Amino acid sequence: MVAARSLLFSLYVGLVTGVMGMLFLPALIDRRAARTITLLWARTILAGLAAICGLRFRCLGAENIPTSGAIVAANHQSMWETIALIALLRRPAMVLKKELLRVPVYGWWAARTGVPIDRSAGAKAIRLLRKETVLHIARGDQIVVFPEGTRGPPGALGPLQPGVAAMYLAADAPVTPVVHNSGDFWRHPSDMKTPGIITIRFLPAIPSGLPRRQFMAALEAALRQDAVAGASS
């Protein structure tokens, strides 16, 4: 049953993405309109996830959700958090791997509303990330990054990559850590989705102005604190 529902949900995502992506194509001209459509898309996907797979979520620490220019740094376990953070933030801009731009329809919207990065470009990618972070913070966006750089298993936190420190120092902006336990329910790499309630928690922001080493230590400590979202809360 779980496998069948997971497959049905995957088909649902493809259908919703294709139909909405083509129907609202003119919205790509305007950044604000494109953000509105991606918000609608994210909420539609999460509603389908609840209805088809019985997988819902609860949000803790809503008072810590930034409403102005900020960096949001989350642990990464599945595709779920990339959708949920679009739905929960006012002006999200997702840092994503450049390869996703090749995905038909989805890639068009990702290019317009996100921050595509070529992870193989080394120092060049870091420079671009610094520049884009400053631009998005100045616009009042919440730029979302997954410091581990790739998805990891539930209950673990991988090494934090240097890009997040570069973003923090370049923008001189606060960083809001976010923890969740999506991997307990949205399995990777099997892509199975089991019924339950994902917990996502927004933690108090790390203030701007800290030295690099102190910032990285504070961020790692925050992400390891209930590293999988403090599900016991």
Asked whether the beta carbons of 227 and 182 are under 8 A apart, the reply is: no
Q: Going by C-beta distance under 8 Å and a sequence separation of 6 or more, which residues neighbour residue 208?
A: 168, 171, 172, 173, 174
Helix boundaries (H) for 140-192: 163-171
pLDDT at 228: 45
CA 174 from chain centre, in angstroms, equals: 17
Asked whether the beta carbons of 114 and 94 are under 8 A apart, the reply is: yes
Tokens linked to 21: 């992506």
Tokens linked to 81: 């958090």
Asked whether the beta carbons of 59 and 200 are under 8 A apart, the reply is: yes
State percent of the chain over pLDDT 90: 76
Query: What's the alpha-carbon Rg for the chain, to the nearest Å?
Result: 17
What topology does CATH give the domain 57-224?
Answer: Glycerol-3-phosphate (1)-acyltransferase (3.40.1130)
Summarised one tens digit per residue, pLDDT across range 42-53 is: 999 999 999 999
User: How many Å apart are CA 65 and CA 33, to the nearest integer?
Assistant: 22
Q: Is residue 155 over pLDDT 50?
A: yes
Summarised one tens digit per residue, pLDDT across range 22-38 is: 999 999 999 899 999 99
pLDDT band at 227 (very low <50, low <70, confident <90, very high): low
Mean pLDDT of 87-112: 91
Per-domain residue ranges for the chain?
57-224
Q: Is residue 132 over pLDDT 70?
A: yes
Mean pLDDT of 89-100: 92
The DSSP code for 186 is B
pLDDT at 102: 87
What is the average pLDDT value for the chain, to the nearest integer?
A: 92
Give the alpha-carbon dihedral of 192, 119, 129, 39, to 10 degrees. -20
pTM score above 0.75? yes
Q: Is residue 231 over pLDDT 70?
A: no
